[in-house]
Amino acid sequence: MGFSITILGSSSAAPIINRNPSAHVINIHERLFLMDCAEGTQMQLLRFKIKFQRFHHIFISHLHGDHFFGLIGLISTLHLLGRKQELHVYAPEGLEEIIDLQLKASETLLQYPLTFHNIQENFSGIVFENDVITIQAFPLLHTIPTHGFIFKEKPKIRKIKKEFVDNFKPDIKSINQIKKGKDFIDKTGNLHLNQNITFEPAHSYSYAYCSDTRYDENIIPYIKEVDLLYHEATFLSDKEESAHDKLHSTAAEAAIIAHKAQVKQLLIGHYSARYREEEDLVNFKTEADSHFPNTLLAKDGLTIHLQEDN
């Protein structure tokens, strides 16, 4: 039951050689979610051998081109590949019109249902839920309406102690109830408190993504204590003024947010095209590490496992 993130693009608006703009894949128990979809995302999926048809839910943080220009290409290719299954897109209002206009121009009638879920400006709340996870959106502070997203595993079932099962032989129905946290009364009428007959459930992992945002402590309640926070870091501190003008963050600011939100791990990316060299990225890490040790650097093709498959 793995939980991993694979970076498809770690650049900000302008692509540079070997660094695509924003897109990444969240794999939760082999269910794949696509987050942002810059130009070239489908080529990156080919490069990193991720099957296009495995996506059913695509999330677009905001309507700057480096986060959505690749969506129309992916939608078109899925059509050409004969897709029949529904595809859901969660995005700010306006994207549906952009996609529809392009499909109309090419006289393409999609062979699969494409459903847009508009996320209103400043919305916070659950946008997707299934049996194992919830996905919540929350507002970021950028030049146009922008949302961050949190992926949370739902609480997992408790594990029953073997000696209890051996001694009291509960039936299947009781076992399921105990796993969900219920106490147990045995045949002699004795009460067994759940906490005494079970172990704590396995950890429920959580992941938060803050695509494009100025340093903003208002997001802390949303992302508090997540296992992994992917926070943009477009600039180094030498360009702090540029970052503020453009409502972006520096590596240090991302790390301060991570520290204040007590997250377990920080990943930074969305680097400006001005930082081209390996050495520049070392500086991102150094600046972030001084506020949040062991910050990870996004890199196209990198996979981070929050939880390994087992």
Least distance in Å: CB of 108 to a second copy? 8
Among the residue ranges 90-98, 124-132, 228-236, 252-260, the one whose residues contact a second copy (CB under 8 A): 90-98
Other CB atoms within 10 Å distance of the CB of residue 168: 16
Q: Does 107 bind a second copy (CB under 8 A)?
A: yes
Among the residue ranges 24-32, 105-113, 114-122, 248-256, the one whose residues contact a second copy (CB under 8 A): 105-113
Q: Name the token pair of 165.
A: 């099962």
CB-nearer residue toward a second copy: 64 or 192: 64
Please give the C-alpha separations between residue 68 and each of 89, 167, 281, 299, in angstroms, as whole numbers: 11, 58, 25, 19
Other CB atoms within 10 Å distance of the CB of residue 117: 14
Site string for a second copy, 112-151 (x = CB under 8 A): -------------------------------xx-------
Least distance in Å: CB of 59 to a second copy? 17
Q: Is 166 a catalytic residue?
A: no
Catalytic residue (one of 66, 212, 227, 300): 66
Residues within window 238-297 making contact with a second copy, judged by CB under 8 A: 273
Contact 154, 204 (CB under 8 A): yes
Give the containing element (helix H, strand E) for 236: none
SS3 of 179, please?
helix
State how far the Cα of 139 lies from the Cα of 262, in Å rounded to an integer: 19
Least distance in Å: CB of 95 to a second copy? 7
φ/ψ of 59, rounded to 5, equals -115, 130
Contact pick of 98, 110, 175, 304 for a second copy (by CB under 8 A):
98
Contact pick of 63, 175, 220, 304 for a second copy (by CB under 8 A):
63
Contact 36, 20 (CB under 8 A): no
Q: Does 64 bind a second copy (CB under 8 A)?
A: yes
Q: How many chain residues bind a second copy (CB under 8 A)?
A: 37
Contact pick of 39, 153, 212, 232 for a second copy (by CB under 8 A):
39
Among the residue ranges 59-67, 260-268, 290-298, 301-309, the one whose residues contact a second copy (CB under 8 A): 59-67
Least distance in Å: CB of 36 to a second copy? 14
Contact 165, 197 (CB under 8 A): no
Least distance in Å: CB of 54 to a second copy? 17
CB-nearer residue toward a second copy: 46 or 165: 46
φ/ψ of 247, rounded to 5, equals 55, 50
Q: Does 76 bind a second copy (CB under 8 A)?
A: yes
φ/ψ of 9, rounded to 5, equals -155, 130
CB-nearer residue toward a second copy: 64 or 248: 64
Among the residue ranges 10-18, 183-191, 195-203, 262-270, the one whose residues contact a second copy (CB under 8 A): 10-18
Contact 25, 6 (CB under 8 A): yes
Q: Name the token pair of 9.
A: 């693009």
DSSP string of 72-141, one letter each residue:
HHHHHHHHHTT--S-EEEEEETTHHHHHHHHHHHTT---SS-EEEEEE-TT--EEEEE-SSEEEEEEE--
Contact pick of 1, 2, 16, 302 for a second copy (by CB under 8 A):
16
Nearest C-alpha neighbor of 69 from the set 22, 102, 37: 37
Interface ranges with a second copy (CB under 8 A): 13-17, 20, 39-40, 42-43, 46-47, 63-66, 69-70, 72-73, 76-77, 80-81, 94-95, 97-98, 101-102, 105-108, 143-144, 273
Q: Give the active site residues.
A: 66
